[in-house]
Amino acid sequence: MKIPGYGVLLFSLLHASSQVALADTDVIELTEENFSDKMAEGDWLVEIYAPWCSHCQQLEPTWRRLATELKGKVLVGKINGDQQPSLMQRFAIQGYPHICHMREGQMRDYAGDRSLEDLRHFAEKGWRQTRPQPFYRAPNSPAGLVLGKLLTLPHKGVQLHQYLRNVKKIPDLVLLLGFLAIPVTMGMCCICLLDAWYSRRPSAWVTPAPQHAHAH
């Protein structure tokens, strides 16, 4: 029997069709790498989803049509919560799908019906009636963008370690000593700078010693 072969073929066809469907859409996929730059392009309506979420799957046709109807007015994007863990840490969401409006460093959550008409109304002008999240909770605010950069440091550190170990063939012990030397060197530099600054301060900063009157 060659049923496994037919199963592989069927899976390949479904995968190829899904890739074509993803390419043939006005929805923009947002990732940790392009999020900061994309947010500067204008107003956004963003869906945070998970591929396994049935509600997200039901919303998908509406979301695609919404992106086409809002083209040139409001940018429509989506974030795969399973594939973007660092980016997800910047969103305080309770479940999937999560829809929000982003504009000029402010984020407003959507809690209405997921019909095409209601979503389009919220994207165009309904967002004005919703109170924005505090600036420190908005991923597109200056504070959120800085936090996003900090959250990527551990991942970049892991990538650097793997590159140095696997490509450059540097032993782990040498890498450990090198990484430990960085904060030690920075601390010594700070101590030297402070010592040089205090030792060369103007004499006017020094409180003169009291002078005693001499008896004649």
The alpha carbon of residue 139 and the mean position of all alpha carbons in its chain are separated, in whole angstroms, by: 7
Both ends of the chain: CA-CA distance in Å?
125
Q: Taking a C-beta distance cutoff of 8 angstroms, is the pair 120, 66 a contact?
A: yes
| pLDDT bracket for residue 153 (50, 70, 90) | low
Active site annotation includes 189: no
- Residue 203, pLDDT score: 52
Say which of 53, 100, 189, 190 is annotated catalytic: 53
For the chain, list the domains and their CATH numbers: 3-151 (3.40.30.10), 154-201 (no CATH)
Active site annotation includes 100: no
For residue 10, pLDDT beyond 70: no
- Residue 57, pLDDT score: 95
Longest dimension (CA), the chain: 125
Quote the mean pLDDT of the chain: 79
User: Rounded CA gap, 38 and 44, in Å?
Assistant: 9
| pLDDT bracket for residue 119 (50, 70, 90) | very high
User: Rounded CA gap, 69 and 17, in Å?
Assistant: 23
Residue 181, SS3? Answer: helix
Residue 46, SS3? Answer: strand
Query: Tokens 């509600």 sit at which residue?
Result: 55
User: Rounded CA gap, 43 and 124, in Å?
Assistant: 9
For residue 47, pLDDT beyond 60: yes
User: Rounded CA gap, 178 and 21, in Å?
Assistant: 48
Q: Which two tokens stand for residue 195?
A: 């010592």
- Residue 137, pLDDT score: 81
For residue 98, pLDDT beyond 70: yes
The continuous run of DSSP H or E covering 103 comes out as strand 98-103
User: Rounded CA gap, 31 and 33, in Å?
Assistant: 5
User: Rounded CA gap, 115 and 63, in Å?
Assistant: 9
Report pLDDT digits (tens) over 101-112.
999 989 999 999
For residue 211, pLDDT beyond 80: no
20-29, 69-78, 136-145, range with greatest mean pLDDT: 69-78
